[in-house]
C-alpha cells in the first residue's frame, strides 16, 4: 500500500479547502479501524472555524500548523463506553487516527498528528475549548489540507530494531 510509504507529516498548507466529500472519506476511513471488543470508543470533532483553530493553536504546544490548515480533526475517546477495565481507547483511537492519516495521503491531502493525551494541560485546554463531556478525552489533533510543497518519502526501516524469537 503506497500510502504507508508516502505518508509524511505535513505542517504547511495551501489555502485550498478540503471538500465535504473528502472530509467524509477521512472519517469513514478512521471508523474502519479495529478496536478492542469492537468497542469503537471514538468520537471526532471536525473544526473548520478559523477562530476555534487559532484558539486551539494558542493553547497547544507544537500546534502552529493550525494557522494554515483549512481543517482539523480532533480524535477523542469516550471512557464511558469502555467494555474493559483497561484503557484500550488509546490504542483504538490511535488506529483510527492512523487510518485517517493514510486516507489523507490516498486523497492527495497532507496531514499531521499533534499529540494531546496524556499531557494534562493539553487535554484540559482542549476539553474546555471544545466543550467535551467529562468522559471524553482528546487523543490527538490532525491538521488536514493540501500540502504547500511535496515532501519526498523517507525510508524509516531500521533492521537493528528487529528481534527474532527473543530479544
Ranges of each domain in the chain: 10-148
- φ, ψ of residue 166 to 5 degrees: the values are -150, 170
Where b means 16+ CB within 10 Å and e means fewer, 24-42 reads ebbbebbeebebbeebbbb
φ, ψ for residue 128 (rounded to 5)?
-70, -50
- Once rounded to an integer, what is the mean pLDDT over residues 52-64? 96
Report the C-alpha gap between 15 and 19 in whole angstroms. Answer: 12
pTM tops 0.75: yes
So what's the architecture of 10-148 in CATH? 3-Layer(aba) Sandwich (3.40)
8-state DSSP, 72: E
The model's pLDDT over 4-31, given as tens digits with 9 standing for 90+, comes to 999 999 999 999 999 999 999 999 999 9
Amino acid at each position: 500500500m503506497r500510502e504507508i510509504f508516502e505518508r509524511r507529516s505535513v505542517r504547511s498548507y495551501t489555502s485550498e479547502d478540503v471538500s465535504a466529500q473528502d472530509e467524509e472519506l477521512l472519517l469513514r476511513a478512521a471508523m474502519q479501524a479495529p478496536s478492542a471488543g469492537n468497542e469503537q470508543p471514538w468520537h471526532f470533532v471536525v473544526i473548520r472555524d478559523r477562530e476555534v483553530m487559532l484558539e486551539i493553536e494558542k493553547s497547544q504546544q507544537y500546534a502552529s500548523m493550525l494557522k494554515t490548515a483549512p481543517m482539523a480533526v480532533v480524535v477523542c475517546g469516550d471512557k464511558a463506553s469502555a467494555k474493559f477495565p483497561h484503557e484500550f481507547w488509546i490504542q483504538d483511537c490511535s488506529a483510527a487516527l492512523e487510518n485517517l492519516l493514510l486516507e489523507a495521503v490516498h486523497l492527495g491531502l497532507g496531514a499531521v498528528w499533534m499529540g494531546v493525551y496524556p499531557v494534562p494541560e493539553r487535554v484540559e485546554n482542549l476539553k474546555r475549548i471544545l466543550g467535551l463531556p467529562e468522559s471524553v478525552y482528546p487523543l490527538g489533533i490532525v491538521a488536514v489540507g493540501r500540502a504547500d510543497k511535496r515532501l519526498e518519502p523517507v525510508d524509516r526501516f531500521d533492521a537493528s530494531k528487529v528481534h527474532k524469537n527473543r530479544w
